[in-house]
Chains A and B, each alone.
Chain A
Amino acid sequence: DAMVIQNPRYQVTQFGKPVTLSCSQTLNHNVMYWYQQKSSQAPKLLFHYYDKDFNNEADTPDNFQSRRPNTSFCFLDIRSPGLGDAAMYLCATSRAGGYEQYFGPGTRLTVT
């Protein structure tokens, strides 16, 4: 059974048009992460939630926001996507204090 689910799997948006990516989990983990992976690059952490506490990475652009309305769901909002935001967006979860990190299948974002 799927443990970390991302929707949609593929998203096409227009330059400047806000877009939201969704992540849900059935593991009841209290930490959720968003990574951005551009083509032929390594994944890069954007931010994470520890319970309801939001933790932004210093170099994450303001254009990227996140919401976590409950334990199971976390959203990534891109307020005004640029061509440079085209990437695979990976959601992951972990249990606080645990070592394993569980990745979702990813959402491939295309910006036209």
Chain B
Amino acid sequence: ELKVEQNPLFLSMQEGKNYTIYCNYSTTSDRLYWYRQDPGKSLESLFVLLSNGAVKQEGRLMASLDTKARLSTLHITAAVHDLSATYFCAVAPYGGATNKLIFGTGTLLAVQP
């Protein structure tokens, strides 16, 4: 059974601190996505990682991919309150011309002042 697991499921952290969200998946996938979702809103694309060892950074967020370990990480540097949201990783394990996404369980991030 295909599984995409994230941990932690809930993360409360203080402003200025660093932390990492982990995404493990159980089948091969040639692409890994990270999305942000604010309450009641749709998904906002953060990163698309396409190869082993890929690393992408945007502001205080950095994502990496290890396809051999089937692991992706989303690292948060010096968190600020505006980063509070739910973060999902997703894989597209079927390849081909379509991007049928299987989402992880999500991590609810709460950054406290």
- Selected from A48, A90, A97, A101, the residue in CB contact (under 8 A) with B33 is A101
Q: How large is the interface on B (under 10, 10 to 19, 20 to 34, 35 or more residues)?
A: 20 to 34
- Give residues of chain A (45-93) contacting chain B, Cβ–Cβ below 8 Å: 45, 48, 50, 55, 88, 90
| B104-A99 in contact (CB<8A) | no
The proximity string for B residues 45-65 relative to A, scoring 1 for CB distances below 8 Å and 0 otherwise, is: 100101000000000000000
Chain B residues with CB below 8 A from A103, complex form: 42-43, 45
Which residues of A come within 8 Å of B, CB atoms?
Answer: 31, 33, 35, 41-45, 48, 50, 55, 88, 90, 94, 96-106, 108
Asked if A43 meets B103 with Cβ closer than 8 Å, knowing A105-B41, A106-B42, the reply is: yes
Give the number of A-B contacts (CB < 8 Å): 55
With both beta carbons as reference points, the residue of chain B lying nearest to A35 in the complex is identified as: B101
Give the residues in chain B near A101, CB-CB below 8 Å.
Answer: 33, 45, 99, 101
Report yes or no: B97 in contact with A50, Cβ–Cβ below 8 A: yes
CB within 8 Å for A48 and B42 given contacts A42-B106, A99-B31, A101-B33 = no
Chain A residues within 8 Å of B101, by CB: 33, 35, 43, 45, 101
Interface of B toward A, CB cutoff 8 Å: 31, 33, 40-43, 45, 48, 50, 88, 97-106
Known: A33-B100, A105-B42. 20 other contacts (CB 8 A): A33-B99, A33-B101, A42-B103, A42-B104, A42-B106, A43-B103, A55-B98, A94-B98, A94-B99, A96-B97, A96-B98, A99-B31, A99-B48, A100-B48, A101-B33, A103-B43, A103-B45, A105-B41, A106-B41, A106-B42
Contact of A31 among B43, B99, B104, B105 (CB under 8 A): B99
